[in-house]
Structure 1
Amino acid sequence: MGAQRTGRWTFWLPAAYSLLLTLLITAPLLRPGYLLLRDAVSTPRSYPTDAALGLGDAAPRAVPQDGLLAALSTVIDGGLLVKIILLAALWAAGYGAAVLVRELLGVPLVAQLVATTLVVWNPFVAERLLQGHWSLLTGYAALPWTALAAFRLRTTARARIAPNLPGPFPPSAGHATDERGETTPRTDADPTAAPPRSDRYRTWAALAGCLAAAGLTPTGALLAGIVAVTVAGWRRLAGVLTLAALASIPWLTATAVSGVAAEPSDPAGVTAFAARAEPWLATVGSLAGLGGIWNAEAVPGSRTTPLAAIATVLLLAVVLLGIRRVAAADGDPGRTRVRRILLVLAAAAVVLPALAATPPGLAVMEWLVVEVPGAGLLRDTQKFVALAVPGYALCAAAACLRFSDSARAKWSIGSAGADQPSEGSAESRTDDDSGSASRRAPAGEAPRWAPLLAVLFIGALTFPLLDLGWGVSGQMRAIDYPDSWSEVAGRIDGPGDIAVLPGGMFRRFPYSGSAPVLDPAPRMLPRDVLQTGALPVRGETVTGEGARAQTVEDLLLTGGPATELARLGVGWVVVEQDTPGPHGDSAATLAQLRQVHSTPELTLYQVPDVHPRPAPEHRSLVVAAHILWALLLIAPLVAYGYSSLARRFEH
């Protein structure tokens, strides 16, 4: 009973600890209200407009995220839905790290908690929360689970099994190693038998679900796809690439049928979105410390002081203490290989974005975004530092055992004599002739100093970044929209797209705080809202793909004729009156329109004799792609049910 109780604690405590860290970060969001911070826009209800499906003028950067919210917000409040996804993502990231290090390293519970801390409580999470990239964090959360699922694909290989060999990180129970270093599950009936077909289906389905969850945004799909391809190995490359493509099919399909892929991105975005050096750190140091986002305003206060350098030194010290142990060969070549792959991936995730921020790197990136369709997805290079986190988690967990092993080895040599094997040797791992057991701690048992080291490492990772707590010092909080938004949405009952004033895509509302926020109109209103896609970054403007939206905005700001608005397919104009921004000579145009509704915050105008644009030809195809992605998302549940039924019939 005692062993079973300990096993339950090992399983549940990392999950509970990850939930605790998540709640410490997101506590201000738990009150009723909506997330409205920079790029994060949650609304009570979203609509399945063409733009939400990726068929607007701009590139489908928020697909299938917007389509999912449009579908589910008909049955659940959209603000609550975003909160649930965000909380689930942060929790899953931390718990996934614990499961990953337990599977690949066999480390005890305290080491798993250190890995969880590193993955949840770090500058990358803080900066992406402040930038409003809640959906990107779902891709971040999927990385440890994707690595784990891809690793377990190696257990599906039909290969001759070699016996387990002892090592510092014993493989999980029920697994063995084949001649090529592939880990393979044991079965009691036949140690050379392949796993049951139902188990193989379930493993592939688990990877499919991980990739689909990461694919809530295009960047998340790319991050998880890189992990899956590198970890799963070449023998499974075709299958993994197929799943990665299916997980990305909503935005791939929308990009293909809308023709946006043929348009080059603005090369000015490369410099604007390049990784940034933080105080007392070069760019490579900022990236190695999991920071360096391009927006200097979207950072916790601690990252603007020398604490940024202290936090980076402490983080890298924890990582470096465990790196040798993670890279060391053990009795399972398959696990060793995967751990080394994740270490190489971590190094590349730091070095390559750092190189991309140098003058030669910027030149290469500018050529890519101009000449290669879709390469604009790569311009925010700091996002890719997320790929370092699984490797960092392994190192942090292994660091907890470093000094403990050294102390035990010295004690063994000193007490047993020079002619006796040390604890780390092969001889010490087996019983001697008299039947005495090895002094080596059993797999999963914490060495004497491991809990103390774990507490020390958790403190080193959290204290320099204490302002990540409580919604990053209150910057991330729930807000309430004025009732005028729902009133205006209910009055839009005719054809035509919607133009908005003032010009630009960002707003500063009295209820949204001091940080600029994306205009909520595209998600709040029931028809397509024209947006230029132009982004003000570091004092410059990066142009977007919305050519028609730019034409309409210029027409309004210069006081053009209403007939031209109608010809361009604009049926409505919404004036947001409680935010600063350019209005130009728009009063001349508005005087030609019919005022439908007015409140202190919003005024709605209708354009007469509008010529609505025809519906996109391939809308049904894009909807089908979203449905396929959703099916992929629930694939693990379906496979688990099938596997359970198959086992029941087998027995």
Structure 2
Amino acid sequence: NPFVTERLAQGAWSLLLGVAAAALVPLYFLLTSPDRGRRSTRGPAWLVPLIALAAFTPTGLAMAAAAVVGAMVVAACAGRRIAMPAAFAVPALALGALPALAGTLLGWGAAEAGSAEAGVVAFAARAEPGLATIGSLAGLGGIWNSDAVPASRSGALTLPLTLPLLLVWAVGTVLAFRRPRSADGAPLDASADMLPARTSLGAAAAVVVLVALAATPPGQAILTAMIDAAPALGILRDGQKWVGLAIPGAAVAIALVANAAWASIAPSSRRLAAAGAAAFVLVPLALVPDAGTFLAREFAPVRYGDGWNRVNDELAAAGAETGRPQTVLVLPAGGFRSTPLWAGGRVVLDPAPRLLHAAVLEPGDLSVGGQVVEGEGGAARDAQRALLEGADAGELAAMGVDWVLDETTSRGERGSAGETLAGAQQRFADDELRLWRLPGAESAGADEAEAFAPASEAARRLALAAHACWALALAGGTAGALIAGRRR
């Protein structure tokens, strides 16, 4: 569907992992919270690894938490017993939150808040051609990143490709909430059996409406105020990603309509009924008919140039010489690159922070549609600004910067950096990279690089312990659920 295709094209596979796990949490919670007086045929142990898997990212954790709270409210209002599944879900949420909480604790006071308003506006959901914002979201699209949108979702075909799903939403909702009747016309009580389906559809409708409202000017103002008051709510900026919570509802709606088609046609022709039911199952594929070719173009293995190894050799030698980690500023400014050498000119994440064995100084700023959303690296931003303004090389070294690396084949802002580098020593150059060492970097001590110092040993242990608890919940929870399932 559009959500999966566009998020994959954006490289957000971890978000999809969280969505897939979080989507199962409320359904499994309801399946393991039976009516009073009845016994569940399933154990709630699988809630632990599902929640842990969702917690692979903070967004997935938030989705799982919302799913648990929603399922608890729905189950309690329906008169179901929730003590047992809650006893598994709540501790799992606590364990899953430990890595994020550790990161927040260790970074407390070290980061500067960026522009909430700019981020909210830049990441708001967008309307696709022929569809309002709410229609795009109901069609599982509406992403803010136009580079991640396939051709079929950006032209005249968007509306006719989305209409089948919109109709399925409507018909499936009617089927879920109508009261069934027996052969003699008497009404039947199927509320318990339909509770998971109704919950999924209700949650999907709520998510679509809320995300659409958040994209309006009043909604953006409210969201901006919320993030200004509580910066941790910044994960709400990218509203369209929460549409992932509507995917279970879409699957339920398709299943209900396919089942109804089968039931109405099967008495006369089972083959025709099977074909009719299968047609509805293919609805998601019809939403993005070019998904395969689009993603095939976007994903291909690449080989970075050997220059990166040479740069690492220089950094390693300098680290051994000075006895401390090296710090590197990169050009052009920004966290994305567009080199034709190995990226084919596509916009990709700067590989320097992942390839270099050094502290690569990144402000974390992001440009969306010409609008800059500031990140949290205040000290790195100051150093980058000094470089772009052509500050003296010694002044930059005094700020704690040892090296400057220019990725020459990528477009971007370089400002007056040439004036700064005129006073630096070039240590390496090839077709893609140029590396300069700033004067005084050889003799600089730890005090100059204090703003960019690596984590302390205590901080490392705390972070590792938090992640170990999360891994234990995932691996141990899976093993426990398998053992419990065999015993049952």
**TM-score of the pair, normalised by structure 2:** 0.85
Question: 449, 465, 469: which one pairs with 2:288?
Answer: 465
Which residue pairs with 2:104 in the alignment?
255
Q: Identify which range, 329-338 or 574-583, moves more after superposition.
A: 329-338
SS at match of 2:289: helix
Per the alignment, residue 137 of structure 1 pairs with 16
Pair 1:317-2:167 in alignment? yes
User: Residues of 1 paired with 2:407 and 2:104: CA distance?
Assistant: 31
Q: Deviations over 1:165-219 (max 9, x none)?
A: xxxxxxxxxxx6xxxxxxx22xxxxxxxxxxxxx74xx33x22211222222211
Matched, 1:160 2:37: yes
1:135 match: secondary structure: helix
Residue 322 (structure 2) aligns with: none
Q: Which residue of 2 aligns with 1:229?
A: 69
User: SS at 2:12's partner residue?
Assistant: coil
Aligned-residue offset at 1:286:
0.4
CA drift of 1:536 comes to 1.0
Q: How does 1:354-503 map to 2 (within 5 A)?
A: 354-406=212-264, 449-472=272-295, 474-493=297-316, 494=319, 495-503=325-333
Alpha-carbon displacement from aligned partner over 1:123-157 (angstroms, at most 9, x marks no partner): 111211222212111112213432343234325x8
Alpha-carbon contact 1:467-1:473 (below 8 Å) kept: no
**Correspondences of 1:489-638 after superposition (within 5 Å):** 489-493=312-316, 494=319, 495-510=325-340, 511-607=342-438, 608=441, 609-610=443-444, 611=446, 612-613=449-450, 614-617=453-456, 618-638=459-479
> C-alpha distance in 2, partners of 1:262/1:243?
29
CA-to-aligned-CA distance 1:540-583 (integer Å, 9 cap, x gap): 11111111111111111122233333333322322211112222
* Corresponding residue to 1:245 among 81, 90, 94: 94
Structure 2: how far apart are the matches of 1:538 and 1:580? 16
Aligned partner of residue 226 in structure 1, secondary structure: helix
After superposition, give the CA deviation of every residue in 1:453-504 in whole Å (9 maximum; x if it has no partner): 1332244432452210134361333322112223322332212322111112
8 Å CA contact retained: 1:124, 1:291: yes
SS of equivalent residue, structure 2 residue 256: helix
- In the alignment, the residues of structure 1 paired with residue 252 and residue 485 of structure 2 have an alpha-carbon distance, to the nearest angstrom, of 32
Give the partner amino acid of 1:623.
L
User: CA shift at 1:539, angstroms?
Assistant: 2.0
Select the residue among 134, 139, 145 that pairs with 1:295: 145
Deviation at 1:277, TM superposition (A): 0.6
The amino acid across from 1:251 in the alignment is A
Distance in 2 (CA, whole Å) between partners of 1:395 and 1:557 is 54
**1:401-447 CA deviation, whole Å, 9 max, x = no partner?**
223434579x8xxxxxxxxxxxxxxxxxxxxxxxxxxxxxxxxxx96
| Residue identity in the other structure for 2:14 | S
- How many residues end up aligned between the 2 structures? 452
Q: Is the 8 A contact 2:120 2:223 kept in 1?
A: yes
Cα 1:260/1:274, change in 2 over 3 Å: farther
Q: How many Å separate the matches in 1 of 2:463 and 2:270?
A: 55
Q: How many Å apart are 1:360 and its aligned residue?
A: 1.2
Say if 1:449 and 1:319 are closer, same or farther in 2 by CA, change over 3 A.
Answer: farther
AA aligned opposite 1:392: A
Please tell me the residue identity of whatever aligns with 2:432: E
Deviations 1:88-119 (A, max 9, x none): xxxxxxxxxxxxxxxxxxxxxxxxxxxxxxxx
* Structure 1 residues without counterparts, runs of 5 or longer: 1-121, 162-175, 177-183, 186-198, 412-445
Which one is further off, 396-405 or 609-618?
A: 609-618
Q: Cα distance, 1:593 vs. partner? A: 3.2
Corresponding residue SS for 1:293: coil
Give the conservation status (yes or no) of the 8 Å contact 2:27–2:196: no
Q: Do the aligned partners of residues 449 and 154 (structure 1) sit closer, same or farther apart at CA in structure 2, a change above 3 Å counting?
A: farther
Higher mean C-alpha displacement, 516-525 vs 601-610: 601-610
Partner Cα separation in structure 2 for residue 344 and residue 260 of structure 1? 40
Contact kept, 8 Å, 2:2 with 2:287, in 1: the verdict is no
Are the structure 2 counterparts of residues 287 and 129 from structure 1 closer, same or farther at C-alpha, using a change threshold of 3 Å? same
Q: 1:327 to 1:489 in 2, by over 3 A?
A: farther
Distance in structure 2 (CA, Å) of the matches to 1:125 and 1:341: 22
8 Å CA contact retained: 1:277, 1:284: yes
Distance in 2 separating the partners of 1:212 and 1:150: 15
The alpha-carbon distance between structure 1 residues 244 and 447, as it changes in their structure 2 partners (threshold 3 A), is farther
Shift of 1:448: 5.5
Residues 224, 261 of structure 1: CA spacing in aligned structure 2 closer, same or farther, 3 A cutoff?
A: farther
Shift of 1:595: 3.2
Corresponding residue for 2:183? none
Aligned with 2:134 (options 276, 280, 284): 284
Q: Which amino acid aligns with 2:5?
A: A
The RMSD of aligned alpha carbons is 2.7
Q: Is the 8 A contact 1:265 1:376 kept in 2?
A: no
The correspondence for 1:343, drawn from 177, 201, 204, is 201
Q: Which residue of 1 aligns with 2:58?
A: 218
User: Residue 258 of structure 2 contacts residue 281 of structure 2 at CA under 8 Å; is this kept in 1?
Assistant: no
Structure showing greater relative contact order (alpha-carbon pairs closer than 8 Å, 6 or more residues apart): 1
Query: Is contact 1:264–1:372 with CA below 8 Å preserved after alignment?
Result: no
SS in 1 for 2:94: helix
Alpha-carbon shift at residue 390 of structure 1 (Å): 0.6
Amino acid at match of 1:400: A
Distance in 1 of aligned mates of 2:109 and 2:252: 40
For the residue of structure 2 that corresponds to 1:479, the secondary structure is coil
In the TM superposition, residue 318 of structure 1 has moved relative to its aligned partner by: 2.5
Partners in 2 of 1:557 and 1:263 — Cα distance?
21
> What amino acid is aligned across from residue 221 of structure 1 in structure 2?
L
Are the structure 2 counterparts of residues 565 and 153 from structure 1 closer, same or farther at C-alpha, using a change threshold of 3 Å? farther
CA contact (8 A) 1:249 1:625 kept: yes
Cα deviation for residue 331 of structure 1 reads 6.5
Q: 1:552 to 1:240 in 2, by over 3 A?
A: same
Query: Contact between 1:401 and 1:450, CA under 8 Å: does it hold in 2?
Result: no
Q: Distance in 2 between the 1:484 and 1:220 partners?
A: 37
